[in-house]
Chain A
Amino acid sequence: MAEPKIKYDRQLRIWGEQGQAALEKASICLLNCGPTGSETLKNLVLGGIGSITVIDGSRVEASDLGNNFMVDDSSIGQSKAKCVCAFLQELNDAVKAKFVEESPDALIETNPSFFSQFTLVIATQLVETSMLKLDRICRRANIMLIFARSYGLTGLVRLSLKEHNVIESKPDHFLDDLRLNHPWPELKRFAETIDLNVTDPVVHKHIPYVVILVKMAEEWASKHDGCLPSTREEKKEFKDLLKARMIAFDEDNYKEAIEAAFKVSTPRGFSSNLRQIIDDSAAEVDSTSSDFWVMVAALKEFIANEGEGEPPLDGSIPDMTSLTEYYVNLQKIYQAKAEADFLAIEQRVRKILKRIGREPDAISKKIIKNFCKNARKLTVCRYRLIEDEFNSPILPELQKYLTDEDYSIAVGFYILLRAADRFATNYNRFPGMFDGEIDEEISRLKTIAVGILSDLGCNGSTLTEDLINEMCRFGAAELHAVAAFIGGIASQEAIKLITKQFVPMSGTFIFNGIDHKSQLLFL
């Protein structure tokens, strides 16, 4: 194995070579390289991100030495962007590292087209006005955007992009698609070749549970007008029938069958999540549609036609007690069905591409196959513009958070972070930034925060004095541990967006460093 492949071994086992290739192609722009920004990039540079551009107009001061690992005593007085960039480069020479000595706020103001060159912009420690401007810029240019902020013992992470489609969502737990209650002809035929009453005890205890359940479900249906066990009693009776078939207590295959018996009763069809996707207006495709939606359109047609109400079979089966021969044959039968479903979808994709005026071969076999394998797990994420969220949050949700004890600190910080930015606009400093006058600043911050809530039509009295006091105590401090936590999350979300694997977060993540009861707010 080549050295980079060994170096990345532990992560290749998570996102594979395709995920890694996507990371190595990506270019990231970081705004502000305090600890929050530096730690975010550190995690991406270690993983082998393609290129980074660090934007920061400030010079290293003594206070940076106490919270940022990317600068040291010799950096004092130098460009922070330059120092951070140099250290990051040291971590991985495969990464192209650049820096621009300019204030992010000024860049957003004067050169909005600058951001179009990047795959993803990570904006840290921006105040509300700059955040809203950058959000509009990136949305228009279709650039992925992550906001990350650390503020005392709180902070936030928020993704912003129009739409993100995931084929390989790789959920931890997902019910396998075995079609036990409506086997296709080949599976049925295979089950018929196996006799559950075989006398050889070794064979008896090595009949795969899939075959046992297919046969027993059929037997049940023939005695119950074609219906499968559905009530509690029926399900229990079905399990008892399975138990009665055992000829020895150590038959693992029957134990597995009993454990999986519920799969016989699971309703046909697919999740409401997938229903929503195929019913999405984006599934009505034209020449501007993305490959993802073209394939969704084909999927929708497939389900309505040859799929008979089911998405394509993914073709994999779990390991189960079995003779090797039975298992390998079973695998082939599932794979053959998956291949047939794939060919049907592929044909539909080609037809659709032709219909919308694109090259019929524009989407590769490999991509369509991957799509079919993951059809039940497709995920679509959409994100509101931050300006829309701020001006008109989903009020019932906000009301709920304000009165729910589990959310009160998180939603309090959400409002107070906005209030702190307005405070800064009014007074040219964050509340509690300097010692002295703290009491006065507490009452000023409170007035602003209550104002924000009442503008939204909410009761400001839900904000506790303790929390407002806490916000002033923070004095906009960027603590290293908090920055490392926020930066860790921001980098992980960046990886999910870039690799298009796993599901990125929705809503706004509000960090609660007081008791760690952080929350996602969907506003």
Chain B
Amino acid sequence: MVDAEADISDRWRDLDKLLSRPGNLVGQTFDPSPDLKNDLRQYVKVLVVGAGGLGCELLKDLALSGFQNLEVIDMDRIEVTNLNRQFLFRLQDVGKPKAEVAAKRVMERISGVNIVPHFGRIQDKDLAFYNEFNIIALGLDSIEARSYINDVACSFLEYDSEDNPCEETIKPMVDGGTEGFKGHARVILPGVTPCFECTIWLFPPQTKFPLCTLAETPRTAAHCIEYAHLIKWDEVHGGNAFDADNPDHMQWIYTEAVKRAELFGIPGVTYTLTQGVVKNIIPAIASTNAIISAACALEALKIATGCSKMLSNYLSYNGVEGLHTKVTEFVRDKDCPVCGPGVLIELDTSITLQKFMELLGEHPKLLLSKSSISYQGENLYMQAPPVLEEMTRSNLTLPLFNLMGKVPKGVVNVSGMARKDDKKISCTRKLRVLFKGIDGVTDMDMASGA
């Protein structure tokens, strides 16, 4: 298994042309040679986040673009409704972890590739895990998850004294997303191109129906369904929480919605629509996922090798009416709290870690609760697991200034829960802490004078 490849030296014939021949429409770093592919295979590690419609395609596309070291993370298990597009899964795989089956299938077909699966939540991996990768490829369908990974990738970014990003700390991402016949692919180089947060307005929050409409003046089938789902269920079932994956629960919602629709003379309640509304199902097909993932994989290859110019920086695709592709060059938000140099906080040297954490909860740009705090890779306070919490608890009463080794300023990383549109989401933030009354400039002057 180790080197079945050696016997089949012609395997990468087509890729080799692209990587070993010079050209003028290429990336600045392109250094064509037969070694380039070997370096790609040996040294570059890519994390694929999500093993769904996009993730399956990404794993295949990356493995067949010369990447040899891949890992994939996904917390979901395979469902029957995945099978119309998630081509690495079969009917008999239903119920198994997506990441594990996907990794196994691709390794079975492409000899030489190594894929490590992670069955679990992206929030449960620590920063060191993510820092291992040269490129992170996102195949996700949720804004929260994208936001989280974006936070993580941007947290590695460091700025020099002139506020220019340090190149070796840039963690490139390629991000894809689809809905029906539409999709996007983008390249995020934190500090260089806009991060997910810089252009968060591209994903406006979903409009919900006002509760009074559901309760008093329903007009559409969706209103009747949401009445059953959001109002009637709790009235009848009290403490028993609704579970969208429980077919009995779904059937109950459907029956109640039909009753309500009949009462008001509203047409159109079907079981399929009930599922669609309650689970907020996004239609998804194989072809769009294929297109978007391919664009992302190609960009990953360019990031790793420089073999062509890069997408700068957002490609949108729409196949509804004819075929439309468009490249938009979005610009960074200079004040972005995620990919910028960090939110600046001025503190007295006497402020304890406990007090600092309270300030984070009140800071209007942060609104962070349940914070865990680290400085230069060292945990100052961790909310979980209990062992770590206990070990770091005694730090809470110590001044942050002392915990940071009495430096005049420094960058601390915080992960916690942020309030956003009435919801709490987990996120990580980078903070530039500056201690009052400690003159950093003097130190530097002394150093240069020495």
- Of the candidates B11, B266, B286, the one whose C-beta lies within 8 Å of that of A65 is B11
Residues from 247 to 265 in B contacting A, C-beta threshold 8 Å: 264-265
Do B219 and A319 have beta carbons less than 8 Å apart?
A: yes
B47 close to A (CB within 8 Å): no
Do A7 and B322 have beta carbons less than 8 Å apart?
A: no
Do B24 and A502 have beta carbons less than 8 Å apart?
A: no
CA distance A171 to B182 in the complex (A): 12
Q: With A10-B281, A46-B85 as given contacts, are A488 and B23 in contact (CB-CB < 8 Å)? A: no
CA distance A502 to B323 in the complex (A): 11
Contact segment of A121-129, A235-243, A288-296, A474-482:
A474-482
CA distance A9 to B8 in the complex (A): 42
- Of the candidates A9, A67, A517, the one whose C-beta lies within 8 Å of that of B15 is A67
Min CB gap B212→A, angstroms: 10
- Of the candidates B9, B10, B283, the one whose C-beta lies within 8 Å of that of A13 is B283
Mask, A320-332, CB within 8 Å of B = 1, is 1111100110000
Min CB gap B20→A, angstroms: 8
Min CB gap B76→A, angstroms: 14
A90 close to B (CB within 8 Å): yes
Do B218 and A324 have beta carbons less than 8 Å apart?
A: yes
Q: With A7-B83, A479-B18, A481-B65 as given contacts, are A62 and B323 in contact (CB-CB < 8 Å)? A: no
Mask, B280-305, CB within 8 Å of A = 1, is 01111111111101110110010000
Do B290 and A39 have beta carbons less than 8 Å apart?
A: yes
Q: With A10-B85, A13-B281, A473-B21 as given contacts, are A43 and B4 in contact (CB-CB < 8 Å)? A: no
Contact segment of A348-356, A383-391, A394-402, A508-516:
A508-516
**Minimal Cβ-Cβ distance residue in B for A377:** B321
Do B12 and A66 have beta carbons less than 8 Å apart?
A: yes
Count of A interface residues, CB-CB < 8 Å: 87
Min CB gap A465→B, angstroms: 8
Residues of A within 8 A of B406 (CB): none
**Minimal Cβ-Cβ distance residue in B for A13:** B283
Do B290 and A14 have beta carbons less than 8 Å apart?
A: no
Given contacts A42-B87, A481-B298, A492-B181, 16 further A-B contacts (CB under 8 A): A11-B84, A43-B287, A62-B11, A63-B10, A63-B11, A65-B11, A73-B8, A466-B23, A473-B21, A481-B65, A488-B287, A492-B287, A506-B322, A515-B311, A515-B312, A516-B295
CA distance A504 to B289 in the complex (A): 18
Contact segment of B56-64, B161-169, B336-344, B438-446:
B56-64
Residues of B within 8 A of A479 (CB): 14-15, 18, 65, 298
Count of B interface residues, CB-CB < 8 Å: 79
Q: List 11 A-B contacts (CB under 8 A).
A: A43-B290, A66-B14, A322-B217, A327-B217, A473-B22, A477-B18, A480-B65, A484-B294, A488-B291, A492-B291, A496-B319
Residues of A within 8 A of B318 (CB): 172
Residues of A within 8 A of B266 (CB): 324, 328
Do B321 and A322 have beta carbons less than 8 Å apart?
A: no
**Minimal Cβ-Cβ distance residue in B for A73:** B111
Residues of A within 8 A of B110 (CB): 65, 69, 72
Do B308 and A153 have beta carbons less than 8 Å apart?
A: yes
Residues of B within 8 A of A480 (CB): 60-61, 64-65, 297
B450 close to A (CB within 8 Å): no
Do A48 and B84 have beta carbons less than 8 Å apart?
A: yes
Residues of B within 8 A of A432 (CB): 17, 21
Do A10 and B283 have beta carbons less than 8 Å apart?
A: yes
A169 close to B (CB within 8 Å): yes
Residues from 266 to 320 in A contacting B, C-beta threshold 8 Å: 319-320
Residues from 345 to 366 in A contacting B, C-beta threshold 8 Å: none
B237 close to A (CB within 8 Å): no
B325 close to A (CB within 8 Å): yes
CA distance A400 to B91 in the complex (A): 52
Residues of B within 8 A of A170 (CB): 320
CA distance A493 to B287 in the complex (A): 9
- Of the candidates B22, B288, B311, the one whose C-beta lies within 8 Å of that of A492 is B288
B310 close to A (CB within 8 Å): yes
**Minimal Cβ-Cβ distance residue in A for B275:** A9
Residues of A within 8 A of B83 (CB): 7, 46
CA distance A68 to B91 in the complex (A): 23
Which residues of A approach B to under 8 Å, CB–CB?
Answer: 1, 3, 6-14, 35, 39, 42-43, 46-48, 61-63, 65-69, 72-73, 76, 90-91, 152-153, 157, 169-172, 206, 319-324, 327-328, 432, 438, 465-467, 469-470, 473-475, 477-485, 487-489, 491-493, 495-496, 502-506, 509, 513-518, 520
Residues of B within 8 A of A48 (CB): 84
B25 close to A (CB within 8 Å): yes
Do B308 and A488 have beta carbons less than 8 Å apart?
A: no
Residues of B within 8 A of A509 (CB): 323
- Of the candidates B8, B91, B283, B288, the one whose C-beta lies within 8 Å of that of A76 is B8
B379 close to A (CB within 8 Å): no
CA distance A152 to B19 in the complex (A): 11
Do A66 and B291 have beta carbons less than 8 Å apart?
A: no
B392 close to A (CB within 8 Å): no
Residues of B within 8 A of A465 (CB): 24
B211 close to A (CB within 8 Å): no
Min CB gap A76→B, angstroms: 7
Do B327 and A482 have beta carbons less than 8 Å apart?
A: no
B240 close to A (CB within 8 Å): no
Do A66 and B64 have beta carbons less than 8 Å apart?
A: yes
B410 close to A (CB within 8 Å): no
**Minimal Cβ-Cβ distance residue in A for B12:** A66
Which residues of B approach A to under 8 Å, CB–CB?
Answer: 4, 8-15, 17-18, 21-25, 57, 60-61, 64-65, 80-81, 83-85, 87, 90-91, 108-111, 180-181, 185, 213, 217-220, 264-266, 271-272, 275-276, 281-291, 293-295, 297-298, 301, 308-312, 315, 318-323, 325, 327
Q: With A39-B290, A518-B325 as given contacts, are A14 and B285 in contact (CB-CB < 8 Å)? A: yes
Residues of B within 8 A of A322 (CB): 217, 219
Top-6 shortest CB links A-B? A488-B290, A488-B291, A480-B64, A505-B323, A477-B14, A484-B294
Do B291 and A485 have beta carbons less than 8 Å apart?
A: yes
CA distance A169 to B85 in the complex (A): 23
Residues of B within 8 A of A152 (CB): 17-18
Do A516 and B220 have beta carbons less than 8 Å apart?
A: no
CA distance A61 to B15 in the complex (A): 15
CA distance A407 to B148 in the complex (A): 38
CA distance A487 to B264 in the complex (A): 48
Residues of A within 8 A of B291 (CB): 484-485, 488-489, 492
**Minimal Cβ-Cβ distance residue in B for A486:** B294
Q: With A66-B64, A481-B61 as given contacts, are A502 and B320 in contact (CB-CB < 8 Å)? A: yes
CA distance A1 to B281 in the complex (A): 17
Min CB gap A327→B, angstroms: 4
Do A488 and B294 have beta carbons less than 8 Å apart?
A: yes
CA distance A315 to B403 in the complex (A): 70
Do B286 and A42 have beta carbons less than 8 Å apart?
A: yes
Do B287 and A495 have beta carbons less than 8 Å apart?
A: yes
Min CB gap B263→A, angstroms: 9
Do A172 and B321 have beta carbons less than 8 Å apart?
A: yes
Do B81 and A482 have beta carbons less than 8 Å apart?
A: no
Which of A62, A90, A506 has the most chain B CB within a 10 Å cutoff? A62
Do A513 and B308 have beta carbons less than 8 Å apart?
A: yes
CA distance A3 to B288 in the complex (A): 23
CA distance A42 to B108 in the complex (A): 18
CA distance A481 to B60 in the complex (A): 9
Min CB gap A8→B, angstroms: 5
Residues of B within 8 A of A505 (CB): 319, 322-323
Residues of A within 8 A of B275 (CB): 9
Min CB gap B187→A, angstroms: 10
Residues of A within 8 A of B25 (CB): 466-467, 470, 514
Q: With A47-B286, A506-B322 as given contacts, are A206 and B217 in contact (CB-CB < 8 Å)? A: yes
Residues of A within 8 A of B65 (CB): 479-481
CA distance A514 to B23 in the complex (A): 11
Which of A65, A68, A72, A481 has the most chain B CB within a 10 Å cutoff? A481
Q: With A171-B321, A328-B219, A477-B15 as given contacts, are A469 and B286 in contact (CB-CB < 8 Å)? A: no
